Structure 1
Amino acid sequence: MSSITHREMRNNSAEILRRVAAGESIQITNNGQIAAVISPPTGTILDELIAQGHARQGVSDLSALLTVDRHRVDVTSAEIIEDARGRW
């Protein structure tokens, strides 16, 4: 793992991000002390959200949505919303 200073990170951020996107992890130092480590993501965004508790794993495959029966109604979404809001 390579190490760069805060100033180098600020001045060469595009190059640093290219290196990280290519798989390299980089330590950032500030006054000689390690302040941060930048590394490429290890999983998908969904995996990260699940790990943070902001999402949950689906109980079935997305193809299950194709089996959902659709029903047509005579009321539009706008009419349903207007009815739910009521009169002020």
Structure 2
Amino acid sequence: MKSISQRELRNDNAEVIRSVEQGESFLVTKSGKPVAVLRPVEGADLTPGLPISQPASRRVDYQDWPRVELGIDSAELLDDLRDER
């Protein structure tokens, strides 16, 4: 396993990731101390995020929702907000 610094990982990110894709592993160090191991993923579930237990039952068309009216125009509201600074 090759050892690389955090700075090397940041500066040569694309090259390091290509190496990982080809099967190489890296020990990442910060100030000379090991902090992480970067290695290819093998046999893991690569589905990102949370699993969907149930698909959405209907689509919502937000254009049908009523508009919210403030009662004052935007310029007045912005002027009030800027005065509070």
TM-score grouping bracket, smaller chain normalisation: 0.5 to 0.7
State the aligned residue count.
52
Give how far 1:44 is off.
4.2
Counterpart in the other structure of 1:37: 37
CA RMSD, 1 decimal: 2.7
Query: Once superposed, which parts of structure 1, at least 4 consecutive aligned residues long, lie more than 6 Å away?
Result: none
1:68 is matched with none
**3-state DSSP of counterpart to 1:45:** coil
Percent identity over the alignment? 43
Quick one: distance in 2 between partners of 1:5 and 1:32? Answer: 7
What TM-score does the superposition give when structure 2 sets the normalisation length? 0.53
Runs (5+) with no aligned partner, structure 2? 52-56, 59-85
Unaligned runs of 5+ in 1: 55-76, 79-88
1:2-81, aligned counterparts within 5 Å? 2-45=2-45
Letter in 2 for 1:10: R
